[in-house]
Amino acid sequence: MNTVSSLLDDSWRERYRRISALNIRSSIYDVTNQCNLRCRGCFFYSSREHEAASEEMDLQKWHEFVGNEKARGVNLAILIGGEPTLHLDRVAAFYQTMPTYCATNGQIKVPRDRFPDMMVGISLWGDEEDEKVLRGKNTFAVSSKNYEGDPYTYYLYTITPKQLGRIGQVIRKIDDAGLKVHLQLLTNDEQVDGYSWTEEKMRDVRLEMDEMLECYPQTVISCKYYHEIITTGKMMGRSFGWSECPSVTELLDSRNPRPKRLIRFTRWASDLKTQHRCCTSATRDCGTCKDGAAHMSWVMVNKREHLKSAKDLQNWIEVYEMFAKLYRFIPW
């Protein structure tokens, strides 16, 4: 039987040792139901999750809640919304207690004197043209000024089918702003015309993502195995979907048999009581889900499957490293 030691040489063994010491336990929190944009295809609004619960307004309750989450074993808080920067006091309750990542549209700058090393991920849905169609404005013009050169910020670039052949232009602008970028794919939750994927487009976007990684290795935080997994939805002959997804809230996970999953993972609504089904939306068809974090986690929780060969295990390590870099558990 293959083991980690038998498959890896010294340098890969060292990389493996570094990530296996991390023991990341993440959960996701809706900081607010409000947002200063309304993007077409936003899973939060299109699934009406903003109406699932009313926001907890008592700041003291947020502090108590975060303390309980820490005691529950969570060591990475992923803040989403709505737009978390509309409620910085709530963000601070997390940041003061545990490693925290804040997903934002970048229109409001996180004050660095108050949150010096908080990881910030700015959503970007394409170039100026796409952003205007899908989000109503060129968000990059504002977010890139707000965060230029910030060492704790990267763009979470959601590639749409319309971006094929034009991804490089966007990456170059991000590189020019002195920022990093991670790539994921649009799930067309609101069926906007022209924004759905076909198999052919998936093949093309995979090649383009690989090319970007080769052209901008210092800027793009990614790896080719992730590109393969997210564009094909296949891993070791298995297909991604409800029966495989690792990012389902633990208490709501009634699947039988239960797949390998994120331990203690929960996605909380902003009343701090309601739990959502998963890291995206309860109304999304899992068969079309292209959520990047769920695909990454799918690889990460299936280490044993990757003990088939040295290459498989190296692929697994690269995905794990990518995840750890995105949340700054290891340096870029």
Q: Using CB under 6 A, which of the segments 52-60, 250-258, 289-297, 322-330 binds ligand SF4?
A: 289-297
291 binds ligand SF4 (CB under 6 A): yes
- Residues in 67-86 at the binding interface with ligand SF4, rule: CB under 6 A: 81-83
Are 115 and 131 in contact by the 8 Å Cβ rule? The answer is: no
Burial of 181 (0-12, 13-18, 19+ CB in 10 A): buried
**Which of 16, 29, 44, 94 forms a contact with ligand SF4 (CB under 6 A)?**
44
- Residues in 120-159 at the binding interface with ligand SF4, rule: CB under 6 A: 123
d(CA 55, CA 285): 27
- Residues in 99-118 at the binding interface with ligand SF4, rule: CB under 6 A: 105
Tell me the closest approach of the beta carbon of residue 3 to ligand SF4, in angstroms.
31
**Which of 39, 119, 159, 322 forms a contact with ligand SF4 (CB under 6 A)?**
39
26 binds ligand SF4 (CB under 6 A): no
Instruction: Say what the alpha-carbon torsion angle 294, 329, 110, 74 is, to the nearest 10 degrees.
Output: 60
User: Could you tell me which residues come within 8 angstroms of residue 136 by beta carbon, excluding any fewer than 6 positions away?
Assistant: 37, 38, 39
CA nearest to 52, candidates 186, 252, 300, 215: 252
294 binds ligand SF4 (CB under 6 A): yes
Q: Which residue has the tokens 């040792």?
A: 17
Tell me the closest approach of the beta carbon of residue 286 to ligand SF4, in angstroms.
3
d(CA 47, CA 281): 6
Residues in contact with ligand SF4 by CB under 6 A are 35, 37-39, 42, 44-45, 81-83, 105, 123, 242, 245, 247-248, 278-280, 284, 286, 289, 291, 294
